[in-house]
């Protein structure tokens, strides 16, 4: 049976981090809400009982149902034999994946700094301040952290020549930042050269090139996590 991915059909969002890994690994999966619509997702989630995912993305593998992007990637990586083969190293990869999740949340906070349920237009002043701090402090801190980690094994990937879930996620992170903050990212070019090299190398992973060129690869849009609002990219 193929994996079933449940994620909102109209945004790349966190679902794309899972998709990129599955495509790179050439795994068979059904993208349920993209074929059956968002209602199918809501119905499925509400029908689940007990310990269930809080929010999409979540993955169904027969009896196994897992939420949280980082955990889904750990599960798939382990099950498909795409980890490092060493527990301590796999935990380091997981640590990085959770760092990525933390940063993704902060990026989401640039357009929703007060409440996820409010419109951007109702929290623009706070958004402006949050985005300025992200650009000045948080992005350099996180991206240099990832860049230094990449330098440890000589690149282009986190484990050197062997790609992992961290690399497909860092690729998506960099693509999203280029979309959301093009002026800032252009100005900072070269500051995190290892990350830029990874961003260039990931599309060459066998299995990914076809996906990235296909219509299934969703473009960033201004309903998702990575949004481009010119005023949040001002220098
Ligand atoms: N920490 C979770 C966050 C999941 C999450 O926030 N999902 C969003 C879509 S990207 C959602 O639908 N949230 C609904 C909610 O928070 O009520 C992860 O990394 O997967």
Report which of 25, 13, 11 is spatially closest to residue 3, judged by C-alpha positions: 25
- What are φ and ψ of residue 178, in 5° steps? -60, -35
Q: Do 128 and 227 fall within a single domain?
A: yes
SS3 assignment, position 18:
helix
Q: Do 22 and 117 fall within a single domain?
A: no
Q: Do 44 and 120 fall within a single domain?
A: no
Q: Do 160 and 107 fall within a single domain?
A: yes
Q: Do 123 and 200 fall within a single domain?
A: yes
pLDDT of 28:
97
Distance between CA atoms of residues 131 and 15, nearest Å: 23
Among 79, 103, 125, the domain-final residue is 79
Domain count, the chain: 2
Residue 233 is given by DSSP the state: S
> In a mutational test of the pocket of ligand 1, which residue from 55, 112, 173 has the highest number of ligand atoms less than 8 Å from its CB?
55
Q: Which domain holds residue 9?
A: 3-79
pLDDT (tens digit per residue) in 135-164 = 999 999 999 999 999 999 998 999 999 999
Distance between CA atoms of residues 18 and 7, nearest Å: 10
Among 57, 79, 101, the domain-final residue is 79
Q: Do 183 and 158 fall within a single domain?
A: yes
CATH number at residue 14: 3.40.30.10
CATH number at residue 159: 1.20.1050.10
Banded model confidence at residue 235, pLDDT cuts 50, 70, 90: low
Give yes or no for a contact between 191 and 140, defined as CB atoms under 8 angstroms apart: yes
pLDDT of 234:
83
> In a mutational test of the pocket of ligand 1, which residue from 13, 14, 21, 52 has the highest number of ligand atoms less than 8 Å from its CB?
14
Q: What element of type H or E holds 193?
A: helix 193-201
Sign of the Cα pseudo-torsion (81, 87, 93, 98, in order)? positive
Q: What share of the chain is helix, strand, coil (3-state, %, to 5)?
A: 60, 10, 35
Distance between CA atoms of residues 139 and 11, nearest Å: 23
Is the CB of 98 inside a 6 Å radius of any atom of ligand 1? no
Q: Do 161 and 186 fall within a single domain?
A: yes
Closest atom of ligand 1 relative to the 225 alpha carbon:
10
Alpha carbon 143 to chain centroid distance? 14
pLDDT of 8:
98
Q: Do 74 and 97 fall within a single domain?
A: no
146-167 in b/e form (b: 16+ CB < 10 A) is bbebbeeeebbbbbeeebbbbb
Nearest residue (CA) to ligand 1, atom 14: 55
> In a mutational test of the pocket of ligand 1, which residue from 10, 54, 58, 71 has the highest number of ligand atoms less than 8 Å from its CB?
54
Examine the pLDDT at 1 and tell me if it is beyond 80. Answer: no
Q: Do 37 and 114 fall within a single domain?
A: no
Q: Do 99 and 209 fall within a single domain?
A: yes
Is the CB of 13 inside a 6 Å radius of any atom of ligand 1? yes
As a whole number, mean pLDDT of residues 101-129 equals 97
Helix/strand/coil (H, E, C) string of 152-191?
HCCCCECEECECCHHHHHHHHHHHHHHHHCHHHHHHCCCC
Is the CB of 224 inside a 6 Å radius of any atom of ligand 1? no
pLDDT (tens digit per residue) in 191-232 = 999 999 999 999 999 999 999 999 999 999 999 999 999 999
User: What is the Å distance from ligand 1's center to 55 Cα?
Assistant: 5
Among 79, 110, 145, the domain-final residue is 79
Report which of 33, 55, 34 is spatially closest to residue 108, judged by C-alpha positions: 55
Report which of 33, 46, 40, 25 is spatially closest to residue 5, judged by C-alpha positions: 33
Q: Do 68 and 142 fall within a single domain?
A: no
Q: Give the other-Cβ count within 10 Å of 84's Cβ.
A: 16
Q: Do 100 and 192 fall within a single domain?
A: yes
Q: What element of type H or E holds 73?
A: helix 69-79
């Amino acid at each position: 049976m193929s994996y079933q991915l449940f994620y909102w059909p109209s945004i790349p969002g966190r679902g794309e981090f899972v998709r990129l890994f599955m495509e790179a690994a050439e795994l068979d999966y059904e993208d349920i809400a993209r074929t059956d619509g968002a209602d199918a997702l809501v119905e499925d989630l509400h029908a689940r009982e007990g310990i269930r995912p809080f929010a999409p993305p979540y993955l169904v593998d027969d009896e196994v149902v897992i939420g949280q992007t980082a955990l889904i990637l750990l599960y798939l990586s382990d099950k498909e034999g795409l980890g490092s083969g060493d527990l301590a190293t796999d935990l380091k990869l997981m640590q990085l994946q959770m760092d990525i999740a933390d940063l993704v949340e902060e990026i989401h906070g640039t357009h929703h700094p007060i409440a996820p349920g409010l419109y951007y237009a109702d929290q623009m002043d706070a958004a402006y301040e949050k985005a300025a701090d992200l650009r000045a402090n948080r992005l350099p801190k996180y991206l240099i952290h990832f860049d230094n980690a990449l330098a440890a094994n000589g690149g282009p990937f986190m484990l050197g020549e062997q790609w992992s879930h961290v690399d497909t996620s860092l690729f998506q992170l960099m693509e999203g930042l280029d979309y959301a903050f093009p002026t800032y990212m252009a100005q900072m070019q070269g500051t995190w050269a290892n990350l830029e090299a990874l961003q260039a190398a990931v599309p060459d992973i066998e299995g990914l090139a076809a996906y990235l060129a296909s219509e299934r690869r969703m473009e960033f849009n201004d309903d998702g996590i990575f949004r481009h609002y010119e005023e949040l990219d001002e220098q």
